[in-house]
Amino acid sequence: DADVTQTPRNRITKTGKRIMLECSQTKGHDRMYWYRQDPGLGLRLIYYSFDVKDINKGEISDGYSVSRQAQAKFSLSLESAIPNQTALYFCATSELLAGYNEQFFGPGTRLTVL
Amino acid sequence: QQQVKQSPQSLIVQKGGISIINCAYENTAFDYFPWYQQFPGKGPALLIAIRPDVSEKKEGRFTISFNKSAKQFSLHIMDSQPGDSATYFCAASMQEGAQKLVFGQGTRLTINP
């Protein structure tokens, strides 16, 4: 979706390197999320943010950190990348619609840690 | 602990057939059950969703069947087409609190022409 963009789309890095994945959105949504996708495991929530000052850990936050620079920008960092962080990473946004939480996903970043 | 369990992991259906993907959940507080569709190289996109106050929701060829007592819900794709080939994820959420989506493991669906 052009409304949610992720950079880079692909990244190969080495163990121990610091990596930042960036997400930007033009949908005007307050809520933003980072997920990782692994075969057979589905999508798992890493971090989520409901506004610039509200950041929360998801189910698999160890080894990751995030920064919400503005309403439209949410970055995910791997402080010291390790091979088991090789995965497809997705950013998503949402607003509260009639009490339910439809999420809009970006195109993903494929990260390989050697 | 996987709160939403999805099966099968992969499914092959002939064109024109019915594709059925099943999900089971554990938390009875869940009150929103969406299905997301993901094409290769793309992010997931909402396909259809249901609330537990109804047992079925239909949108075109896609139907969700919901069984509250069994804590199960399923996606049925009627007259399956090659363009339906994608990965499908079920999910669950609670209206109260943070409203986080909990996803199933995904099903890779292939429709053979």
The closest of A102, A99, A109, A107 to A29, measured between CA atoms, is A102
> In degrees rounded to 5, what are phi and psi of residue B82?
-55, -30
Q: Which of A25, A32, A101 would best serve as a mutation to test chain B binding (most B beta carbons within 10 A)?
A: A101
Tens of pLDDT, residue by residue, chain A (114 residues): 479 999 999 999 999 999 999 999 999 999 999 999 998 899 999 999 998 999 999 999 999 999 999 999 999 999 999 999 999 999 999 986 666 778 999 999 999 999
E strand or H helix that includes residue B20: strand B19-25
Interface of B with A in 13-32 (CB under 8 A): 32
First to last CA, chain B: 38
B43: distance to nearest CA of chain A, Å? Answer: 5
What is the number of other CB atoms lying within 10 angstroms of the CB of residue B100?
17
User: 3-state class of A85 per DSSP?
Assistant: helix
pLDDT at B10: 97
- Whether residue B106 and residue A40 make contact (CB cut-off 8 A), yes or no, is yes
pLDDT at A98: 63
pLDDT digits (tens, 9 = 90+) for B68-108: 999 999 999 999 999 999 999 999 998 777 778 999 999 99
The closest of B8, B3, B2 to B88, measured between CA atoms, is B8
B44 contacts in A (CB within 8 Å)?
43, 90, 105
A41: distance to nearest CA of chain B, Å? Answer: 5
- Whether residue B101 and residue A103 make contact (CB cut-off 8 A), yes or no, is yes
pLDDT at A104: 94
Mention every residue, 6+ apart, whose C-beta is less than 8 A from residue A62. Answer: none
pLDDT digits (tens, 9 = 90+) for B26-35: 999 999 999 9
